[in-house]
Amino acid sequence: MFDFPLYSQSLSRRDLCKVAVGGTLSFMLPGFDLQAAQKRGPERRKSVITLWMGGGPSQLETWDPHPGTKIGGPGKAISTVVPGLQISDMYPLLAEQLSGMSVIRSMVSKEGDHERGTKYLKTGYRPEPTTVYPALGAIIAHEAPDKGLEIPQHISMGNTQFPARGGYLGAHLDAFRVPDPGKNIGNMRARVGDPRQERRLENLNVVSQAFRRGRTTQTKKTLHQSTIDRALTMMSSEQLQAFEIEKEPAAVRAAYGDSPFGRGCLVARRLIEQGVHAIEVNLNGWDSHANNYTGHQTQSKILDPAFATLLTELKERDLLDSTIVLCIGEFGRTPKINPLDGRDHWPSGFSCIVGGGGLKGDVIIGETDPTGKKKKPTEPVRIQDLYATILQTLKIDYTKELISPIGRPLALSDGTPIQKLI
Amino acid sequence: MPASTRNWILACLPVGVVALVVSLVAWASSSPLKKTTPIPVVVNEDSLTRTVRQVNQLFEEQWKDRELIPAEQADELTQMRRLSLALHGTIPSLEEIREFQAMSGEDRLERWTVKLLEDRRFADYFSERFTRAFVGVAQGQFIVFRRDRFKAWLSEQIQANTPYDELVRKLIAGEGIWTGDPETNYITAAVADGNLDRNKLTGSTVRAFLGQRIDCAQCHDHPFDHWKQADFEGLTAFYGQVEVQLLGVRQNDNLKYEVEDRNTLEKRTVAPQVPFLNECLPEKGTLRERLAAWVTHPDNRRFERASANRIWGLLFGVPYINPVDDLPAPTDLAQEPPDLLDILGQDFRENGYDIKRLIQIIVASKPFGLSSSTDNENAEEIERATSEWALFPLVRLRPEQIIGSMLQASSLKTIDQNSNLFMRGRRFFSEIDFVREYGDLGSDELNDFPGTIPQALLRMNGQFAKDNGSASPFNSVGRISSLDISNAKRVETCFLVCLSRIPTPEELTHFIKQYETASNQKQREKITEDLFWALYNSPEFSWNH
């Protein structure tokens, strides 16, 4: 039990839950024995953490540096613990923690617009007007729902313009957004005591009933009631503690970095321990049309400690074997440096780091042309291939077809797993 | 705190207070209103009612063809709520409901519409909607982009009823400094990292004004539409000579528009060229003036159709064709009968691109007045009826509408330009906070999103919900609790204030029973607070229906 600054009445969360949901949902919930961290081996389910680099980081200033070339810019490269792998020297901490992770330097997309690129990269399908594809996290939540969870099973942390969506699988699978992770997630406590809260919910029921008359189907579709029910369940859940990082040692918090992204990565680790299987942590600010190099320096100071500490902690807690970590943005940047010392959008040939969860580690796939003349990288990897790989590793049949609302059968992914990673 | 710092703060405090008061007063007096707007009389305008009839006929024929029975007409108070939400972004106040009820005549909804359109709140609310459609919600680069000025300018234009085509031409071709000539913020909104992103301008111009998405042709030929990369580049070349510099948005005839070939990485110059209706492109004028004339040319039917679709979307919450900026190419009217957007578009064009008139037509048409409830329980049938506009759709209110409605419900009197400074200041600041916390839908606001758990939590437990729903001598919760009226009247007033309807008999019984248990003022307040809490959190409150 932890304290609430706004409310001091001694009511346990469980009690309040019973009152709040009026028995409609809470009785269906099993006990709280689902701390993922306590499970081992095949018993433990796999999870995915996506570190989303909003804006599109430059491959040349991250995982595919070409120092000393015309396209390389002022950056240098450093060796990592992975044999043969060099990354930008802006990532000294990460370089020490990459064992077991792989790098793909030849991701190819066909979307050079932020919104379209993000949608493609978060779903594995190129956006089209008639179908909203579900994001990876929504597919996981849909295909392998965790019934014991009282907090959302698909979570997006940090501000983002295009959070992961449930798409045609349904809005209830949209990522639960936590704009400022590690701080107050807010509004989790009823404003009045138990008997009045009960009266309020009873009143709400009376008013809602009148509205439903003649609109049963329509109101069901709004998810209004189920949203309220889920909110009430969440309000009374012990699992909420996963969002709170005050009790983490100061050194751990410092290691992640006191940024929304650093805190988000720490919360992500706590959520994985709690049993949440699909988490995205957003870091914006990679859209470097001007001053590309200095922009990447700023960003690396946020990303390097957070990413490195996340990997360290997952390894220490024996969680990396069950957690896929993917660090990617919507596209890369042009080999050519523009007159403003910036790089523009470049969907053909960019990098990502992926590993954990049973994927093969220490693999380096493809590279971009060091002269920048050739548009195509060697061993190009399509976005859908990356998702097919991840889904297969999660033991989700990526070829499974679902029927979209307009009656079209759609596979979870139309890619082919990357052999080098499985 | 060291004494020197404290002294410094003390010295600055009065200056700060004065600055705050001055800016608040300046803001509050920016658009004064006459104390009472007389209720205008609708001139019996034949051409307007003719178009409404034409629209109704179109729908009636379609419903008959597809064997759909439209829902019944919604009651007047429901329609009044829809109008207020669509035009002012709030629910009607109790004061307004009483005023409306006192009006007589069969055409009182039409007259009420005109009154709402004349109210400054309409211009202010619609300017935010247009701003989103034109430049999105990003704050942009604050030195060269002033969203607030842009929005205020749009509000002035809407209030003055500037013809929409003229307004659009000013946006595309405007020159000057973003503060003095705020329309130029349309151009400067596309500045990113000190660079004018001309591709972004092309994409948003075509999306906002012609209802077409050609953005993907920026990098490649459109996979299934007929847009080619050359079309995109040719259009972008019209923005090739615009420059954003110290003196503002300027024309520089010496600039050439060059693109980098993606394969050879070499530069090549692109000549301005339009993808269709070449005959509508004038010879004279600057490149942007020519583009503006082409976009708004009377023969360019995409312009009027896109405008009609957007206004329809703003009134219903769902555009006629979804998404709002991806319309099919206009059909040949010699071969096929006009569709809804053609009818509305033609009236729009023939009547001076008058936004208010277009709104009057849409809200007077049959679909806007239909009920959202039906006896039919078949999900598929309901889906079909909704998509054919034979049933009013349930649409989630935007964050601004939610906060506007919560604030309005907390006051028995209308909150508008005539309200006191405190009330208006409260609205101004609560709106910013609430919208941020509720989650802004951005420029995507016409898409259909259901509510989220954080929103439910905010409505149930948020600080604003608490402040608004706790009885005080100044808000409706406190006033309704203390009025010397019957319990039945008390329940009825709460319902009118929050949901713009009278309670059902079951609701009445339920809440009267609660009031009967109250023996003093304090208890009555608590009951009213709990009733308000339920009304605020009901689906009926946060959905348009």
Q: Which two tokens stand for residue A13?
A: 């969360």
Angle (nearest 5°) at CA A175 between A174 and A178: 140
Q: Contacts of residue B465 in chain A, CB cutoff 8 Å?
A: 191
Question: Which residue in the set B219, B394, B461 is minimally distant from A112, CB to CB?
Answer: B219
Within-domain flag for B242: yes
Question: pLDDT class for A405, splitting at 50, 70, 90?
Answer: low
Beta bridge partners of B242: B251
Give the C-alpha separation, B240 to B255, whole Å. Answer: 7
Give the C-alpha separation, B159 to B356, whole Å. Answer: 10
Shortest Cα distance, chain B CAs vs residue A343, angstroms: 11
Q: Is 50 exceeded by the pLDDT of residue A331?
A: yes
pLDDT tens readout for residues A217-256: 888 888 888 889 989 999 999 999 999 999 899 999 999 9
Within-domain flag for B497: yes
Q: Is 50 exceeded by the pLDDT of residue A396?
A: yes
Range of the domain at B433: 427-544
Straight-line distance from the first to the last Cα atom of chain B, in angstroms, rounded to the nearest whole number: 56
- Segment B317-335 mean pLDDT: 92
Determine the distance from the C-alpha atom of residue B166 to the mean position of all C-alpha atoms in its chain, rounded to a whole number: 20
What sections of A275-380 are H helices per DSSP?
292-316
Q: Is 90 exceeded by the pLDDT of residue A148?
A: no
Q: Which two tokens stand for residue B523?
A: 């208890």
Q: What is the pLDDT of residue A285?
A: 93
Q: Is 50 exceeded by the pLDDT of residue A27?
A: no
Within-domain flag for B110: no
- Residue type (1 letter), B432: I
Within-domain flag for B95: no
Q: Which residue of A has its CA nearest to B464?
A: A187
Per the omega criterion (within 30 degrees of 0), is the bond before B323 cis? yes
Residue B317 DSSP symbol: S
- Segment A288-292 mean pLDDT: 89
Give the C-alpha separation, B221 to A115, whole Å. Answer: 18
- Dihedral, CA atoms, B505, B506, B511, B515, nearest 10 degrees? 70
Question: Which residue in the set B195, B215, B454 is minimally distant from A289, CB to CB?
Answer: B195
Helix or strand (DSSP H, E) at B395: strand B395-396
Beta bridge partners of A283: A53
- Segment A76-95 mean pLDDT: 97
* Whether B193 and A290 lie within 8 Å, measured CB to CB: yes
Q: Is 60 exceeded by the pLDDT of residue A22?
A: no
For chain B, percent of residues with pLDDT exceeding 90: 67
Q: Which residue of A has its CA nearest to B326?
A: A129
Straight-line distance from the first to the last Cα atom of chain A, in angstroms, rounded to the nearest whole number: 43
Token match 């809490």: residue?
Answer: B533
The domain boundary residue, chosen from B263, B280, B296? B296
* Whether A228 and B458 lie within 8 Å, measured CB to CB: no
Q: What is the pLDDT of residue A188?
A: 84
Q: Which two tokens stand for residue A78?
A: 């450093």
Among the listed ranges A155-169, B259-273, B334-348, B400-414, which one has the minimum average pLDDT value?
B259-273
Among the listed ranges A125-129, A142-146, B62-66, B428-432, which one has the minimum average pLDDT value?
B428-432
Give the C-alpha separation, B128 to B133, whole Å. Answer: 9
What interface predicted TM-score (ipTM) does this complex get? 0.86
CB atoms within 10 A of CB B146: 21
The domain boundary residue, chosen from B296, B311, B337? B296
Average pLDDT, chain B: 88
Within-domain flag for B466: yes
Q: Contacts of residue B540 in chain A, CB cutoff 8 Å?
A: 207-208, 210-211
* Chain A contacts in chain B segment 248-267 (CB below 8 A): 260, 262-263, 265
* Chain A contacts in chain B segment 445-464 (CB below 8 A): 449-458, 460-462
* Whether B533 and A111 lie within 8 Å, measured CB to CB: no
Q: Give B281's contacts (C-beta < 8 A, 6+ positions apart).
A: B274, B290, B293, B294
Record: fold of A46-182+248-411 = Alkaline Phosphatase, subunit A (3.40.720)
Of the candidates A207, A227, A209, A222, the residue with the CA atom closest to the CA atom of residue B395:
A222
Within-domain flag for B30: no
Strand, helix or coil for residue A351: strand
**Structural contact between residues B318 and B393, judged by C-beta atoms closer than 8 angstroms:** yes
Q: Which residue of A has its CA nearest to B395?
A: A222
**Structural contact between residues A72 and A60, judged by C-beta atoms closer than 8 angstroms:** yes
The domain boundary residue, chosen from B266, B281, B296? B296
Torsion A201-A205-A207-A212 (CA) sign: positive
Any chain A CB within 8 A of the CB of B326?
Answer: yes
Report the residue of A203, A286, A338, A374 to disrupt the B interface, i.e. the one with the largest count of B CBs within 10 Å.
A203
Q: What is the pLDDT of residue B45?
A: 58
Give the C-alpha separation, A103 to A97, whole Å. Answer: 13
Give the C-alpha separation, A81 to A361, whole Å. Answer: 12
Shortest Cα distance, chain B CAs vs residue A393, angstroms: 30
Report the residue of A130, A187, A333 to disrupt the B interface, i.e. the one with the largest count of B CBs within 10 Å.
A187
Q: What is the pLDDT of residue B428?
A: 75
Any chain A CB within 8 A of the CB of B220?
Answer: yes
Shortest Cα distance, chain B CAs vs residue A315, angstroms: 32
Q: Is 50 exceeded by the pLDDT of residue B162?
A: yes
Within-domain flag for B115: no
Question: Which residue in the set A161, A207, A288 is minimally distant from B535, CB to CB?
Answer: A207
Q: Is 80 exceeded by the pLDDT of residue B426?
A: no
DSSP E strands in A109-260: the ranges are: 154-157, 176-178
Q: Contacts of residue A167 in chain B, CB cutoff 8 Å?
A: none
Q: Is 90 exceeded by the pLDDT of residue B140?
A: no
Q: What is the pLDDT of residue A18?
A: 42
CB atoms within 10 A of CB A294: 12
Greater pLDDT, A291 or A38: A291
Report the residue of A110, A126, A201, A218 to disrupt the B interface, i.e. the one with the largest count of B CBs within 10 Å.
A218
Give the C-alpha separation, A75 to B235, whole Å. Answer: 37
Q: Which residue of A has its CA nearest to B459?
A: A187
Report the residue of A215, A230, A348 to disrupt the B interface, i.e. the one with the largest count of B CBs within 10 Å.
A215
Question: pLDDT class for A272, splitting at 50, 70, 90?
Answer: very high
CB atoms within 10 A of CB B245: 10
- Residue type (1 letter), B358: L
| Its pTM surpasses 0.80 | no
Question: pLDDT class for B195, splitting at 50, 70, 90?
Answer: confident
Of the candidates B282, B330, B271, the residue with the CA atom closest to the CA atom of residue B303:
B330
* Whether B216 and A111 lie within 8 Å, measured CB to CB: yes
* Whether B454 and A290 lie within 8 Å, measured CB to CB: no
- Residue type (1 letter), B229: Q
Q: Is 90 exceeded by the pLDDT of residue B305?
A: yes
Kindly list the distances between the CA atom of residue B169 and the CA atoms of A95, B129, B166, B355, in Å, as whole numbers in the listed order: 54, 18, 5, 15
Any chain A CB within 8 A of the CB of B504?
Answer: yes
* Whether A189 and B462 lie within 8 Å, measured CB to CB: no
Count of structural domains within chain B? 2
Q: What is the pLDDT of residue B463?
A: 84
Greater pLDDT, B433 or B250: B250
* Whether B219 and A347 lie within 8 Å, measured CB to CB: yes
pLDDT tens readout for residues B72-89: 999 999 999 999 999 999
**Structural contact between residues A151 and A234, judged by C-beta atoms closer than 8 angstroms:** yes
**Structural contact between residues B492 and B533, judged by C-beta atoms closer than 8 angstroms:** no
β-pairing, B242-245 vs B248-251, is antiparallel
* Whether A210 and B543 lie within 8 Å, measured CB to CB: no
Pinpoint the residues of chain A covered by CATH 3.40.720.
Answer: 46-182+248-411
pLDDT tens readout for residues B399-410: 889 989 999 999
- Segment A404-417 mean pLDDT: 86
For chain B, percent of residues with pLDDT exceeding 70: 86
Average pLDDT, chain A: 88
Residue A325 DSSP symbol: E
Within-domain flag for B27: no
pLDDT tens readout for residues A336-362: 998 889 998 899 999 999 999 999 999
Q: A79 — phi, psi (to 5°)?
A: -80, 155
Q: Give B385's contacts (C-beta < 8 A, 6+ positions apart).
A: B68, B70, B71, B374, B376, B391
Query: Left (φ > 0), alpha (ψ -120 to 50) or beta: where does B92 sit?
Result: beta
